Amino acid sequence: MELSRQNDSSTFLMVWRLALLSFILAGLTGFIYRLGLITNLPEGIEFANLRHAHSHLMFFNWICPPLMILMAGSVFRDPEASGLKPFRPCMITMIVLGFLTYPLFLMYGYQPVAVGRAEIPLAAAVSGLIMVTWYWFAWLYYRYRKERDDRLSLLLFDTALLALILSSLGAWGVTVAQFTAAPGSLIPTALTGFFLSVFTEGWVVLAAMGILVMLSEDKLPEIKLRSGWYYVPVLFGSMLLFPLSLSRPMLTGGMVFASYLGLTLAAAGLLIFMLFIWKTAVRSGFTGKAIVAFFSLKVMFLLAALMPHGIWPGEHGVRVLYLHTLLLGLASAVIIESFSRKRQAAAKTLFILSVCLILVTLSMISGHWPAGLTPNGLIYWVVAAAALPVIPAGVLLAGTFNLSEQVEKKD
């Protein structure tokens, strides 16, 4: 499962390097956040701001640009010849803005900042500009995509981009609702949940599915079902999963029904997809097996939430574990498998193992871990594990500078 010709593009390499740098910075920020549980944070640094800086840099620079440049390469029959040049300004703008949000969230969070006579939430404003670059990318993608090309990978990418655009509408809606909704209204919270669920369950999951198909499209079994069975339930399910980000006491009867319907649709679509992809994925090596394992964990979370008195992803501990399984586990494993050279297999394996250790420690503080199996000094294990993925990510980043200078000159 490795791209060949697309890897020979300096745009591709630039995105990969900056994404890894972003991951390292966000990972260190997450480590400092955990470190704050056992010691005092530096003066002027707030827990909430650390969390926002960490999560937004992961979303904006680690998840989106790598997935997008992989999608961009798929629309060209010869990515090496095109050099992905049409997408380069968009990618650079997106990543620069993503880096800019980091100090703004770290210093101010979502709080307004005095700019002349105005009070402006700078971090939120720059985040809005990043969403504009998402539209820019979507326009470029559909401009160069061949309309009659019905490869399953491109159909999945089409649907993923639709989910990304829909998720952004939820983010814009939050801004409007903050000024128009009645005090105590659930509308802003529900819209925030809509953005997060469609972004993670729709955009990220569908893009990851598309990349898995793209990496091994010629090795996959013949499709015996209409391809819509793989992605339509996931798309519509993602739009109904917004209550999963809320605690149970906040839910109305309609929200509960929507969440259960969304869970059923998403789980059904993913199970069908896994039956289609799993043989090819598990034969691709350790990372491929890990991807199948993370997909399985995600489906288990969805099914567990469907069970009577089952776990609810809106609980804080479960929510943190679930998002890390999806983003740090599944999405990150797909990304490193797509970008990394075979000679970096050891770094990829260490990355996956370090992620698994983080998920184990987060399971222990999720509120559903057997008390008798909790180790002494658990909080120290949680803090130490948070720093582990940064090390193999640094090795992967260093490895990009060992590539031939010819790669840099392709464009």
Q: Above 90 in pLDDT, residue 402? A: no
In Å, how far from its chain's centre is CA 101?
17
Q: Above 80 in pLDDT, residue 90? A: yes
* pLDDT attached to residue 3: 44
Q: Above 50 in pLDDT, residue 53? A: yes
Compute the C-alpha angle 101/104/109, nearest 5°.
105
Confidence of residue 118 (pLDDT cuts 50, 70, 90): confident
**Which residue blocks in 251-389 are alpha helix, DSSP H?**
253-282, 286-306, 316-323, 332-339, 345-364, 378-387
Q: Which amino acid is at 370?
A: P
Q: Which amino acid is at 306?
A: L
Packing angle of the helix pair 378-387, 10-35 (nearest 10 deg): 160
Buried b (16+ CB within 10 A) or exposed e, 161-196: bbbbebbbebbebbeebeeebeeeeeebbbbbbbbb
Length of the chain equals 411
User: What is the number of other CB atoms lying within 10 angstroms of the CB of residue 41?
Assistant: 15
d(Cα 327, Cα 58) in Å, to the nearest integer?
Answer: 9
Residue 86 is classified by DSSP as: G
Q: Above 60 in pLDDT, residue 313? A: yes
Give the β-pairing of 113-115 and 118-120: antiparallel
d(Cα 324, Cα 288) in Å, to the nearest integer?
Answer: 18
On whether the CB atoms of residues 49 and 108 are closer than 8 A, the answer is: yes
Kindly provide the residue ranges of all beta strands, DSSP E only, lying in 37-121, ordered along the sequence.
113-115, 118-120
d(Cα 85, Cα 77) in Å, to the nearest integer?
Answer: 14
Confidence of residue 5 (pLDDT cuts 50, 70, 90): very low
User: What is the number of other CB atoms lying within 10 angstroms of the CB of residue 346?
Assistant: 10
Instruction: Tell if the pTM clears 0.85, that is, is over it.
Output: yes
When pLDDT is averaged across residues 47-64 and rounded to a whole number, the result is 94
C-alpha distances in angstroms, 51 versus 46, 47, 178, 349?
Answer: 9, 6, 22, 27
Confidence of residue 332 (pLDDT cuts 50, 70, 90): very high
